[in-house]
Amino acid sequence: MSIHPSAVVDPTAQIGRDVEIGPFAMVEAGAEIGDRCKLGPRSTVKSGVTLGCDNALSEGAVLGGLPQLAAPTGPPGRLVVGDRNVFRENVTVHLAMTEQGVTRIGNDCLLMVASHVAHDCVVADRVILTNNVMLAGHVTVGERAFLGGGSAVHQHCRVGRIAMVGGMARIVQDVLPFVTIDGDTGAVVGLNRVGLRRSGMSREEMAEIKEAYRIIYRSGESFADRLMMLSERFQEGPAAELEPFLRDTSRGYARERRSPPGGTIRVIDDAMDAPVLEMTEQKSKRRAG
């Protein structure tokens, strides 16, 4: 391993093979760091953190900070991080709120500059949090979800897998899997088609997701009837994930933005052509006269 002379590493910390620890980095007592991890300058891995292999921390990243609570309830829990994650400059991830709790980060995630993951969050594999994303406590983010810059997710909300959240969005209800959230309104504006294609889904699976989307947002049925329609129509495949996701919601789910904010001008060809034709005929008659 390579440890810079200015780094502070507690002798009780467990350090794997081929680990690099940069200038002024800190590893506290009881921290566990897997093989081939790289801790950049001024990065910190605090007590209660378990890092898998091949993780990279950039300057100023802090993993394992205490939960931000007005009235702490006792000793905090742990933070468990998987493999091959990248934590860019000044990222913060906090320990769980209670001693039995765990904050979890999966594998192959990218947390960009100054993003924050609060206590008791669960972030699945291949998630991207762009600059200044804020996850409040007890938030769950599904596999391959993408959250745009400056977006904020309210505590206890869920962001479904392969969902895309636009920059600066305010998420106060669950975001269904596979949908796109508009950053301006925080409402659903359709499916995340790019994400679906990149995930390797077949055309048939994407067609079923589109059908399920129409049942949820455009069928006009009651919530109970929509759940029944989904469970009867989709027994397997990605579309089958939507019914249990909806059934388990505690905060409700993000609604669809049916029209853009503000007025919309719709040009109707017949309405435009008729006056133009009439004016042309009148001009022709005047010239003939």
Contact 191, 209 (CB under 8 A): yes
Q: Determine whether 94 is an active site residue.
A: no
Distance of CA 172 to the CA centre of its chain: 13
Contact 11, 25 (CB under 8 A): no
Q: Determine whether 119 is an active site residue.
A: yes
Catalytic residue among 137, 148, 149, 186: 137
Cα separation of 130 and 121, whole Å?
Answer: 17
Contact 129, 148 (CB under 8 A): no
Phi, psi of 175 (to 5 degrees): -105, 120
Catalytic residue among 82, 83, 94, 119: 119
Q: Determine whether 120 is an active site residue.
A: yes
Contact 130, 149 (CB under 8 A): yes
> Which residues are designated catalytic?
119-120, 137
